[in-house]
Amino acid sequence: MKQGIKWAIGLSLLLIVAMVSLGPSKPYSTEQLKTLTTDRVTNASMDHLMAEDIARTTSLLIASLTGQMEKWGDVDVETLTADIAEELNEHPYIKGIAIRDKDNRIIDGLGTLQTVSSEDISFSNQYDGILYSNPYQVNGENHLFVGKKLDNQHQLIGDVDLRFIQSYLADFAAIADSNGTFFVSGSHPNVQFSAMNELPDQAETVSVPGLNWNIVVQSEPKKLDQKVYKHQVVAKLHSSTNIQEWAAKHQYEVISWNRPFIVIGKEGVHEDELVNALRQDNAVLYAEPNFAFANQAVISQAKVEPNDEFFKSYQWNLEQIQVEDGWNVANGADVTIAIIDSGVDSNHIDLKDKLTNGYNAITDTEDYADGNGHGTHVAGIAAAITNNVEGIAGVSWQSNIMPIKVLDDNGEGSSYAVARGIYWAVDNGADVINMSLGDYYHSDVLYDAIEYAYEKDVVLIGASGNENTGDLMYPAAYPQVITVASVNEDQNRSFFSNYGDHVDVAAPGEHIPSTYVDDQYVMLSGTSMASPHVAGLAALLRSVNPSLTNEEVGNLILGNAKQLGDGEFNVYYGYGEIDVNKTLQHLINE
């Protein structure tokens, strides 16, 4: 495995973007990279990336309407009504579409614009032939008018509900309109501004083209202390131990139990004291704190070009890894990718028809609903339904998605829950497991689960982390796991991407569009986004040859990556950026 082998994990940044280019047009040299890796990432750099992602997602939100408006510009006015009705049905955040004549009368409208007075519709900005109003409020909710000239007599107008922007806005972010007035803010006091002239020097700002909005992010300094669940310990017991009798004898509270592992607590006893006591117990094979995990906030023929709405305009990431040519070889059919994460939105139009049974490792139930959005985004990158007109294309478009919820709605979970989720995925037929989460401490219970999965021939993939550090993040750094770093559109290492000898390959991880909760799409950045690109490639390989071992899959991915940086292998890119077509061609030509 790993051509000498070693493989890792990532946090995603719930972030969002103006079209800003980061870095030079060719990969950095080793000397340049050394200057970028002297410290962990700064608050300012991460805040700027978050502001960019928010701005790009905002543009993505508006693009489906304005793109359709451009197409309608060449359509006879009388034929638009049916198209308008279909657009409203497909995009729930578009609340109304209408035609206004030269006398400012609404002559044909659907949705909210049937009741809006034409005199109330005014535009303050214009960009690429599209008119934009400033945000306005309806019953306390923010809306936006968008307009397009149809002919000398008519204007097309859309009404966009901006509540979705509020739903994905980070706690430390705020948005000001073209007048400099803030109309939506996150919950943290750091961003409770009323006007742009109030901004402190340390706030990071990115503008949104056309709208002339300013995205402002000012987070708090990141604390890197190790986190554990207070008064909780994970232990592995000898198989002969009667757990109920053992717990009662020592007056332990059994918090969760998944033989041979158990999570226990004891009133008034600190977790460190409890670990020390358990390690002296002959019934206990090992004991450790319940570590807190977080998501890591992706034969020459004519290209297969799917018709998904955002594919050509926004999914630069798939073109960069040569996925279209690769789709001539494989589409991922009959392979299951387990997403060990915050769950998956089971109603999303780009995911719902390919979900298998799932599991909630936190509550030991089947409820894998995603209240965070991270897992839904990761799942879409790996295997969104493709060529269905809607949304995005997934790397392995015919693969099944197995949703495993191990992180709560805040994107946080425990080492025990992650291990429990891995066991369930393996026992229920997962062929590939993606883990876009992690922590910097080794966990025995987690490593047991990784070993179990690897011995069952499951391909394990994770992301390297987002702290610009060479520290090992687990479970990614375990040798059985393929470790994925992040690169940007210039094929340069993302400034936040962790590095080291444990990194195996790189994949796109900045400004990646994908599925999100409530049937929406956003752009996120992080090694969390890089990792599912590799999971998708692993699924494509196994769909071509199901008999490939996990070690063979790993060696194919690493051995056919596009070399970046200096040397065949380096600590920033591993063996290079994945190349889907080259890897699949190598397999079928063997």
Three-state SS letters, 15-57: CCCCCCCCCCCCCCCHHHHHHHCCCCCCHHHHHHHHHHHHHHH
Identify residue 79 by its one-letter amino acid code.
T
> Whole-angstrom Cα distance, residue 350 to residue 31?
43
Please give the Cα distance from 316 to 473 (Å, whole number). 28
Instruction: Check 47, 161, 325, 341 and give the catalytic one.
Output: 341
Say if residues 98 and 114 touch (Cβ distance below 8 Å): yes
Decide: 153 and 101 in contact? Cβ < 8 Å.
yes
Query: Residue 239 catalytic?
Result: no
Amino acid identity at 95: K
Spot the catalytic one: 48, 143, 348, 374: 374
Question: For residues 514 and 317, what is the distance between their CA atoms, to the nearest angstrom?
Answer: 11
CB 399 within 8 A of CB 428: no
CA 226 – CA 419 distance, rounded (Å): 19
**In 3D, which of 394, 379, 456, 395 has the Cα closest to residue 424?**
456
**Integer Cα distance of 460 and 398 in angstroms:** 19
Query: Which alpha helices (H) appear in 205-362, and where do they start and end?
Result: 243-250, 271-278, 311-314, 316-320, 323-326
CA 551 and chain centroid, separation = 26
Strand partners, 263: 234, 256
- Of 35, 39, 28, the C-alpha closest to 570 is 28
Does the annotation count 374 as an active-site position? yes
Q: Check 528, 531, 533, 579 and give the catalytic one.
A: 528
**Phi then psi for 456, rounded to 5 degrees?**
-90, 10
Q: List the beta strands (DSSP E) in 387-480.
A: 400-405, 412-414, 432-435, 437-438, 459-463
Whether 47 sits among the annotated catalytic residues: the reply is no
Which residues, 6+ apart, have CB-to-CB distance to 319 below 8 Å?
none
Task: Give the integer Cα–Cα distance in Å for 191 and 309.
Answer: 34
Q: What is the enclosing helix (H) or strand (E) of 63?
A: helix 43-72
Give the residue numbers annotated as catalytic, written as ranges. 341, 374, 528
